[in-house]
Structure formats: C-alpha cells, structure tokens
Amino acid sequence: MIRKLQETDRQQTMYFVSQKPAENVFIIGDIEGYGFHSTIQTLWGDFNDRGDLRAVLLKYDENFIIYAPEDFDAKGLANIINTDSSFSYLSGIEEMVNKLTPYITAQPKKPRILYYAKCETAEFLPTIPKGIIIEKGRAKDAEAIIEQMKAIPEFAEGNYSVEHKQVSLEKALARVYFIKEQGTIISSASSTAENSQSAMIVGVGTLPEHQKRGLATYCMSKLCRELLAENKMLCLFYDNPSAGAIYKRIGFVDIGKWSMWTY
C-alpha cells in the first residue's frame, strides 16, 4: 500500500532510513529540516501487508529520491512521479532507481552514474603538518570560497550562489575548511546535507597551480575528523578513479553507485 507520509509516521520512517544513514543523507536531512508538512517537499511510503515500510519516495522541489532496499511497488511509485508536472530529476542508489525507471514515461535527457562511498573512521586520515594552517570558513568567506571553486576546472560549471553559501554557513547546515596563501583561498573541502546522523563531503579541490601538495587532503582530514567526532557518518560522490583512490587511502569505502537522472 502506498500513501503520503505524515508527522505520525516520523518514528517509523526515521527508523527505516536510519538503517543506512550514508545512503539516506538527503532523506534524513530533509525530514529533519522540513518535516512532513512542508510546501517544498512531500514523502510517500510503500507498506507491506504487515504495515512495515519497504520504500520511501521523497519529492523535494523538482527532485525525487527513492530508497527501497527490498522489493517494492515500483510501478505504483512511478505513477506518482509520472503524474507530477514539475518532475525533472530522479536520484538514488543505482539498483533502486533501476527498478523504477522502466515505469517512468518520460525519457531521460542526461543520466549520470557516480561512485558512492562512506567513511566511519578517522584511523586513516592524514596528520596535518605543523606548517599547514587550515581555517574554518565563515559566512563572510562565502564569496571567496565560491571564487576558488569556479577557478578549479572540474568545478567551474557548478551552480553556485554566494547568498546560499552564506546562509548555509550561518545556520551550520554546511561547513568549510580552507588553506590560504597570500590572502587567497587555494584549497578547500566542504560538507553539505548535514543531519544528526550523516553528512556529505563536497567541493574537495585545490587551484591547479597549487596541486600535488596534498592540500585538499589536509582540508578534508580536518573536516572529516570534526564530523566523525560528532558521530556523523560521512559520504561522498566521485566519478574520477584517481580521486577515488585518494578517498580510499584515507578511509572511504565504496557502498554502491548513485544514479542521477535528468528528465
């Protein structure tokens, strides 16, 4: 049985998605941030005959995210997506998304598959050398942080907002650690989608002329240690095998692939 989830379903829903906090970083964060009666998001649950949840479908703005670790009513949930006029994106663990896509009537314009990894230990994070000064980003640093991101080729085409960055830093929805040289940010690592159980690591990068010095790894080490000390499970996406090798050396392990479909 499929129905919209309500506030009375919070405990059951959170228990269900909290079994995999890394895989559900977005769903957990959105439930904690916006609840079940928000104008920007809606949640549906698919229940078995015993009343147990077997799938959760989240709609946030134009985005749908599916989480269904076992068999579920894929056709029924796909019908919800098909009848939504604002539907533009579908994301989730690859094998879960693949159960939905045969029933989606729209044709995807831009499918993208990313590796998905998590980290639960600081054991392999590198020690930061004494000569390296790492600063924590504040709201006033938002513009400089984004300027640095835009100057890194692999991040240059990202959709950035100084105002959004300022708000997320002010409200502790995200955090950034960076290294400066001569007053300019040259390397940084950030978190996003933070919630009580997990956080997504993003924006790990160094300006091209300062690469091959391990600076981004040091920024990431500082960030990850802080988050792990708060008992948050860390996760990240990557599509570059070279980057993946670095992440694995510092304690991340692959947990699957993440599908991002644009319609």
Q: Where are the domains of the chain?
A: 2-106, 118-262
Residue 57 DSSP SS3: strand
- Mean pLDDT within 226-232: 98
Q: What is the pLDDT of residues 128-166, one digit of tens each?
A: 999 999 999 999 999 999 999 999 998 988 889 999 899
Residue 117 DSSP SS3: strand
- Mean pLDDT within 230-238: 97
| pLDDT > 90? residue 200 | yes
| pLDDT > 90? residue 242 | no
| pLDDT > 90? residue 111 | no
Residue recorded with tokens 């919630």: 195
Q: In the chain, at which residue ranges do the beta strands (DSSP E only) sit? A: 2-4, 41-47, 53-60, 63-67, 89-93, 110-119, 135-136, 176-181, 184-192, 198-206, 233-238, 253-262
Query: Is the separation of the CB atoms in 151 and 201 below 8 Å?
Result: no
- Mean pLDDT within 58-72: 97
Report the length, in residues, of the chain.
263
CA distances from residue 182 to 40, 96, 132, 185, 186 in whole angstroms, order as listed: 42, 47, 13, 9, 9
Give me the pLDDT at residue 240, please: 86
Q: Give residue 84's pLDDT band: very low, low, confident or very high (50, 70, 90).
A: very high
Give the whole-angstrom CA distance, residue 76 versus residue 6.
19
Give me the pLDDT at residue 243, please: 86
Give the whole-angstrom CA distance, residue 148 versus residue 207.
7
Query: Is the separation of the CB atoms in 232 and 197 below 8 Å?
Result: yes
- Residue 50's closest CA among 1, 11, 13? 1
Kindly tell me the sign of the dihedral angle through the C-alpha atoms of 87, 88, 94, 95. positive
Give me the pLDDT at residue 173, please: 82
Give me the pLDDT at residue 110, please: 81
- Tell me the CATH class for 118-262: alpha beta
Q: How many CA atoms lie within 13 A of 178 on its CB side?
A: 26
- Mean pLDDT within 215-238: 97
What percentage of the chain carries pLDDT values higher than 90?
A: 90
Q: Give residue 83's pLDDT band: very low, low, confident or very high (50, 70, 90).
A: very high
- Mean pLDDT within 95-121: 95
Q: Give residue 237's pLDDT band: very low, low, confident or very high (50, 70, 90).
A: very high
- Mean pLDDT within 1-21: 98
Spacing of C-alpha 22 from chain mean position: 9
